[in-house]
A and B are shown apart, each in its own frame.
Chain A
Amino acid sequence: MPQTLIVLMESAVIGALIGFGASAGVARMFHAPKVQGMGAFRTLGELNACENDPIAHFSFGFGFFFNAWASAVGAGALTGDVDHRIVPHWAAALSMAKNRNLAETLHNPRRMAFCGAGVGMVLISVLNTSAASVPGSLQKVAAEVLGPASEWLINPVMPIIFWMAAIDAGRRTGGWGTVLGGLAHVVMGNAVPGIVLGIVVGKALDDLGRTRLTRVLVGAVIALFVISGILRGVDLQLLEQMKVHVPDWLAQFHKTTGTTPTD
């Protein structure tokens, strides 16, 4: 079977699945907090912003479609906007094409799920097959331009953005964000996950104080750092860089578990 056909068929299945799940989750967001929804706050806000107008929903999604298409062609990444913006907005536009009643369209998980499955099936097929048939010269441009740009975004731009947000969110959050951010860059190679966890811990302590819940949270975070540190052999590197002799049992432990530092 030709590769494009396989990609097309798999994309249709994938599109129907993500469209079904994402659109039902988005419709459920309008019933939160009583019902557990799925989506994002920005999606909720954007859907409310073009409320009741199928044209507005369609054109909002269309703007991001171009972005997703460019990114799919360039790097094979469909962008998070597919699930967050294009599918929900186009499903909304489709579901209210004839009926403007929000309760029966955008807020109705059943109708949104089936509209979303249809939208997803077509959308993902188009995005993936057009990307597969792109000439090599274009892919080279994309790799040379998008590659460095996304590397810079991951490090150091995104860590700085999250760090500033943590620092501006209060002393406790800023403190936890700074400590876990620095440690995360040592342990995981990127500070963002650490800062995110720092914000979660800091805000939880701010809002709830020292409860059983926050103690479990702090314990889980510390365990996560210790375990991933050991798995990546950070303890060995630390001892070596401090010019301290590595005990034989520690070196042996890392050798047998295959967790010696790779880089």
Chain B
Amino acid sequence: MSHAETGAAAAPGPEGGAGSGGGTGTAKAKAEAKSGGGKVPGEGSFWLSERAFPLFVATLAAGIFAGTHLYYVYNTGAFNEVAVTALLKAGMDGGSYGAAAAFGAGFLFARIIEGPMVGILDIGGSLQTGVGIGIPAMLLAGGITAPLEHFWLALPTGAVLGLAIGWLVLAIRRVTVNSSGGTSTFGADVMMGAGNSAGRYLGPLVIIAAATASIPVGLGSTLGALLFYWWKKPLTGGAILGAMLFGLFFPITGK
């Protein structure tokens, strides 16, 4: 898919939403046009202003960083996929934080560059993986554990990181989009396609791992995946729940 097509495909949604009347969803555009003033924050109001953006990034980043604190202390609450959280876990279990730090920093870097160009900052790559995994991994690798051990230190740390990311995005937006006219999506479409299809692979992988662990768990996982597939739900959830249900009655032996 070329970038020009994506640009055209992405444009109607936002434009319709902004009430310009073009593109898809004429009903939506009409609704926008009708309610120009009143109780809805319009263009230029605080809620849609540039200066509000870093604040929203800061609240989300503070929550995500504190979520990683919960995971670090209580082993639950990380805002990421099992696969990515496992990178951080590898470091916490005494291994190297290198993979988590590099993976998170790479995504953060790519998303901060991409966000201003396309007008949407991807929270998965920038905040969940960057602030939630990459930066904690870097801190831990450097021996700095305090922000991850204490809740009241985790919140401001995340908020400051979020503010910085928000300001950086706006700064890049001023330099690039306003000067080059936003002619490149920087491969956002390619990465989003790959990122979305990656999730589909986890279901079959879970079934294979379950069948390797023990026969009852493998059968349960297969059955669960089949049921979820029939119910038109993501395969992965069924595979995991099936494996756990059968594992409860037939605990995995050995090791």
List the interface of chain A (C-beta within 8 A of B). 3, 6-7, 10-11, 13-18, 20-22, 24-25, 28-42, 44-45, 48, 51-52, 63-64, 66-67, 70-80, 82-84, 101-104, 107-110, 113, 120, 124, 127-128, 131-132, 135, 137-138, 140-142, 144-154, 157-158, 161-162, 164-166, 169, 173, 184, 187-190, 192-194, 196-197, 199-200, 202-204, 206-208, 211, 213, 217, 220, 224, 228, 232, 262-263
Per CB-CB distance, the 4 closest pairs between chain A and chain B, nearest first, are: A193-B106, A21-B60, A141-B247, A30-B17
The reply to whether A76 and B119 form a contact with Cβ atoms under 8 Å apart is no
Give, as a whole number of angstroms, the nearest-CB distance from B66 to chain A.
5
The reply to whether B123 and A39 form a contact with Cβ atoms under 8 Å apart is yes
Residues of B contacting A151 with CB < 8 Å? 83, 86
Instruction: Identify A29's interface contact among B14, B197, B198, CB under 8 A.
Output: B14
Residues of A contacting B27 with CB < 8 Å? 52
Interface bin, chain B: 35 or more
Q: Within B162-190, which residues are at the interface with A (CB < 8 Å)? A: 162, 169-170, 173, 175-177, 180, 182-188, 190
Residues of A contacting B62 with CB < 8 Å? 17
- The DSSP consensus for interface residues of chain A is helix
The reply to whether B96 and A70 form a contact with Cβ atoms under 8 Å apart is no
The reply to whether B183 and A207 form a contact with Cβ atoms under 8 Å apart is yes
Interface flag for B110 (CB, 8 Å): yes
The reply to whether B41 and A109 form a contact with Cβ atoms under 8 Å apart is yes
Given contacts A132-B74, A149-B209, contact A161 B102 (CB under 8 A): no
The reply to whether B83 and A44 form a contact with Cβ atoms under 8 Å apart is no
The reply to whether B17 and A184 form a contact with Cβ atoms under 8 Å apart is no
Given contacts A17-B60, A31-B14, A206-B3, contact A66 B67 (CB under 8 A): no
Give, as a whole number of angstroms, the nearest-CB distance from A17 to chain B.
3
10 pairs, A vs B, C-beta closer than 8 Å: A13-B155, A36-B121, A38-B53, A41-B120, A66-B241, A141-B251, A142-B243, A189-B102, A197-B106, A224-B109
The reply to whether B86 and A75 form a contact with Cβ atoms under 8 Å apart is yes
Residues of A contacting B183 with CB < 8 Å? 207-208
The reply to whether A17 and B63 form a contact with Cβ atoms under 8 Å apart is yes
The reply to whether A37 and B121 form a contact with Cβ atoms under 8 Å apart is yes
Interface flag for B157 (CB, 8 Å): no
Give, as a whole number of angstroms, the nearest-CB distance from B232 to chain A.
8
Give the distance in Å from the alpha carbon of A142 to the alpha carbon of B82 in the complex. Answer: 11
The reply to whether A145 and B63 form a contact with Cβ atoms under 8 Å apart is no
Interface centre among A21, A137, A148, A184 (most CB of B within 10 A): A21
Instruction: Identify B120's interface contact among A13, A16, A29, A213, CB under 8 A.
Output: A29
Given contacts A138-B244, A203-B185, A208-B184, contact A63 B190 (CB under 8 A): no
Give the distance in Å from the alpha carbon of A50 to the alpha carbon of B249 in the complex. Answer: 39
Task: Considering the complex, give the chain A residue whose CB is closest to the CB of B236.
Answer: A67
Residues of B contacting A137 with CB < 8 Å? 247-248, 251
The reply to whether A36 and B243 form a contact with Cβ atoms under 8 Å apart is no
The reply to whether A153 and B198 form a contact with Cβ atoms under 8 Å apart is yes
Give, as a whole number of angstroms, the nearest-CB distance from A184 to chain B.
7
Give, as a whole number of angstroms, the nearest-CB distance from B143 to chain A.
10
Residues of B contacting A142 with CB < 8 Å? 240, 243-244, 247
Residues of B contacting A66 with CB < 8 Å? 233, 237, 241
Give, as a whole number of angstroms, the nearest-CB distance from B41 to chain A.
5
Instruction: Identify B191's interface contact among A30, A108, A131, A162, CB under 8 A.
Output: A162
Give, as a whole number of angstroms, the nearest-CB distance from B80 to chain A.
6
Give, as a whole number of angstroms, the nearest-CB distance from B222 to chain A.
12
Residues of A contacting B66 with CB < 8 Å? 10, 13-14, 17
Instruction: Identify A165's interface contact among B47, B194, B240, CB under 8 A.
Output: B194
11 new A-B contacts, CB < 8 A, other than A79-B81, A145-B217, are A20-B59, A36-B119, A36-B121, A77-B80, A104-B39, A142-B240, A144-B209, A144-B213, A192-B106, A193-B106, A196-B110
Give the distance in Å from the alpha carbon of A124 to the alpha carbon of B180 in the complex. Answer: 41
Residues of A contacting B84 with CB < 8 Å? 77, 154
The reply to whether B188 and A150 form a contact with Cβ atoms under 8 Å apart is no
Interface flag for B116 (CB, 8 Å): yes
Give the distance in Å from the alpha carbon of A149 to the alpha carbon of B85 in the complex. Answer: 13
Give, as a whole number of angstroms, the nearest-CB distance from B141 to chain A.
9
Residues of A contacting B123 with CB < 8 Å? 22, 25, 38-40, 83-84
Give, as a whole number of angstroms, the nearest-CB distance from B82 to chain A.
5
Q: Within B54-86, which residues are at the interface with A (CB < 8 Å)? A: 56-64, 66-67, 69-71, 74-86
The reply to whether A147 and B128 form a contact with Cβ atoms under 8 Å apart is no
The reply to whether A199 and B14 form a contact with Cβ atoms under 8 Å apart is no
Instruction: Identify B78's interface contact among A10, A76, A147, CB under 8 A.
Output: A76
Give, as a whole number of angstroms, the nearest-CB distance from A204 to chain B.
5
Interface flag for B35 (CB, 8 Å): yes
Task: Considering the complex, give the chain B residue whose CB is closest to the CB of A21.
Answer: B60
